[in-house]
Amino acid sequence: MKSSTGLTRTHFILLVGALTTLVPFTIDMYLPAFPILADVYKTNASSVQLSLTACLLGLAIGQLVAGALSDMHGRRKPLLISLMAYIGASIACIFAPNIYIFVFLRFVQGLAASGGLVISRAIVRDVSQGPELTRLFALLMVIGNLVPLIAPSIGSGVLLFADWKGIFVLLTVLGIFLLVLSTSRLKESLPPEKRVPSNLKSTFGNFAGILKNRQFTGYALAQGFLIGGVFAYVSGTPFIYQNIYGASPQIFSVLFGMNGIALIIGSYSVGRFTYIWSEKRFLETALYTATVAGAILLAVVLMQGPLWAVVIPIFFFIMAIGVVGTSSFTLAMESQGHVAGSASALLGLLPFILGAATAPLVGIAGENTAVPMGLVIFSMCLIALLSYLLLAKNATSSIAN
């Protein structure tokens, strides 16, 4: 049976799932090349990590723009434009002559990639709600979380046969594939009568109205701070695993891929057992789990513990992310309707802003200490838990159609 998108349910999930992979591929595939980029551009770890920060800032800003435009003009046109811009930015990264231009182009690449993430989520909200929304989003999270499992391995595999530029060639090919697929297969999911007025005042009014919903804001902050901690892990482990513990790029990719499995376990659990446990119970349990794992990680790095003692708490921290990402998004989006694009943008904004702030912090004390990463991750977990307890746990929300 076909939905309003013109696709069967299976094809719809695969297409929208493919669109959600654009962001994690953009973030994760080039991580094994961090030390190489530092050598190529004759710079330090913090400068290379700044390219990740720039990408995350682009993703944050781009989601606001793409989300608002998709509520005004429909989902399809802004999506296609963002994919074309992504292809251009990926090609330009290949020819960046210095670290400063590379950092700027990563910002543009993140700005363009945001459209695939925020608009695909809005499309899911357009065609589903309630338990079906939870199941669909859990499936998308599983698909999306496969990318951190394989992206660094693909990146390190490319480095065996080509230089770092080969990674951005692959990203260009991915953008072209998604553009062709979206152009030929995806129909509009937001009819004109459900779109919001196309003016700046109404746009900011939509954002303000959504943020006045105490429950939505609590879920957004809980998700945002926790995922902000993930980017400290993403930015820090390439140097920590390889420089401090002597892991090769391939071993780093295996360890990074293990956490992709953790994400999948977390996301799948919510979708599979939502009839046994409520999304809210899943969320609260995961927030406590992440905070405990963050505290253990901080203790281990302060004592300069062995690699396995670092890897284990990170695994449970990342598994909690899979649970929180699925449950908090579902709970927050249930109270939104025709402004799903703007709501999705706000949910995606905070993680990338916080990620942009935390990514360079893990290298501020140099490349030979893991303490900043442990401190940032624990702090983000604790603040996320408090945000949920103070704002969302006992709040009520109104439903938007």
| Domains, in order of start, for the chain | 9-192+202-392 (1.20.1250.20)
Are the CB atoms for 237 and 252 separated by under 8 Å? yes
- pLDDT tier at 286 (50, 70, 90 boundaries)? very high
What is the percent of the chain where pLDDT is above 90? 25
Q: Of residues 126 and 225, which shows the higher confidence score?
A: 225
| Per-residue pLDDT, 399 | 42
In order of 60, 67, 297, 375, 383, the CA distances from 380 in angstroms are: 18, 26, 13, 9, 5
| Per-residue pLDDT, 294 | 94
DSSP state of 193: G
Q: Is 2 in a helix, a strand, or coil?
A: strand
In the beta sheet, which residues pair with residue 2? 8
Q: Of residues 341 and 370, which shows the higher confidence score?
A: 370
In order of 5, 29, 43, 307, 368, the CA distances from 304 in angstroms are: 53, 28, 27, 9, 11
In the predicted structure, residue 22 carries a pLDDT above the cut 70? yes
In the predicted structure, residue 95 carries a pLDDT above the cut 60? yes
In the predicted structure, residue 346 carries a pLDDT above the cut 60? yes
Are the CB atoms for 297 and 318 separated by under 8 Å? no
Mean pLDDT (whole number) for 142-165:
81
| Per-residue pLDDT, 319 | 92
Closest CA to 215 of 333, 119, 326, 129: 333
| Per-residue pLDDT, 73 | 80
Are the CB atoms for 87 and 33 separated by under 8 Å? no
The answer to pTM > 0.85 is: no
Mean pLDDT (whole number) for 385-390:
91
Mean pLDDT (whole number) for 89-100:
94
| pLDDT single digits (tens) 233-264 | 877 887 788 888 878 877 887 887 788 788 88
Q: Is 176 in a helix, a strand, or coil?
A: helix
The chain-wide mean pLDDT, for the chain, equals 82
- pLDDT tier at 11 (50, 70, 90 boundaries)? confident
- pLDDT tier at 107 (50, 70, 90 boundaries)? very high
In the predicted structure, residue 383 carries a pLDDT above the cut 80? yes
Mean pLDDT (whole number) for 72-96:
92
| Per-residue pLDDT, 7 | 60
Mean pLDDT (whole number) for 175-198:
82
Alpha-carbon dihedral angle through residues 143, 146, 152, 153, given to the nearest 10 degrees: -120
- pLDDT tier at 232 (50, 70, 90 boundaries)? confident
What is the percent of the chain where pLDDT is above 70? 87
Distance spanning both ends of the chain, measured CA to CA: 24
Copy the structure tokens of residue 155.
Answer: 């990146």
| Per-residue pLDDT, 111 | 93
In the predicted structure, residue 391 carries a pLDDT above the cut 80? yes
